[in-house]
Amino acid sequence: MVALTIIVAFGAALFGAYLQRIWTPDPRPQIEALGAQLTKFQQRVETIEQERTELENFSLEMSLRQAASQNYILFVTNNSERVVNVETVSIEHNGMRLSKPIKPKPTDDWKIDKHSSKTLMWDPQPDPATQLRFSSVTPPQGVAIQMWFVLVCTIECKRKTVRGSQMVTVDFGNRSMTPFGP
């Protein structure tokens, strides 16, 4: 009788395990689907973080080619994988703005494709050499000083201010600047 009870109990346990396996859904497909969603989310976060880092560290190479009254030419090189659209350009010295931000004329194309260069021509207002001459920090004529070219750009629908510097000498009489160095 004890043997029969043990056999019935063992059979009931097996039958219970069988029923539980049939009635309890297998969570593995749901866990695998959740893992796939988590992987996609993690990849998207990493992509966004990489784009943010690239945009924060984005720079353009700038070289002043000519700076005469009403005729400034800046050569800009984009070595990135992104297309850059320059919206405005202005000039600063020691944190002081020497000209208002100037937009391209309707006939100008200030869009710089990836891995390419563009020449930006504009007429800064007011004249930076005159502004510098009558400022409280007028540098001595013929001495090289650092000028900053400030470009407000759109890079893949995101606005970014990009700054580039160049050493120049200023001729106050001719209201011009001569690039000093590369």
Domain spans in the chain, listed from the N-terminal domain onward: 2-56, 61-179
- The predicted structure's pLDDT at residue 62: 93
- The predicted structure's pLDDT at residue 121: 94
**134, 140, 135, 127: which is closest to 96 by C-alpha?**
135
- The predicted structure's pLDDT at residue 124: 93
**Residue 128 burial class via C-beta count within 10 angstroms: exposed 0-12, middle 13-18, buried 19 and up:** buried
Q: Which residue ranges in the chain fall short of pLDDT 70?
A: 181-182
Topology classification of domain 61-179: Immunoglobulin-like (2.60.40)
- The predicted structure's pLDDT at residue 54: 73
- The three-class DSSP label of residue 165 is strand
- The predicted structure's pLDDT at residue 75: 96
- The predicted structure's pLDDT at residue 181: 66
* Rounded CA separation 84/104 (Å): 14
* Rounded CA separation 79/85 (Å): 14
* Rounded CA separation 169/93 (Å): 12
**120, 67, 128: which is closest to 94 by C-alpha?**
128
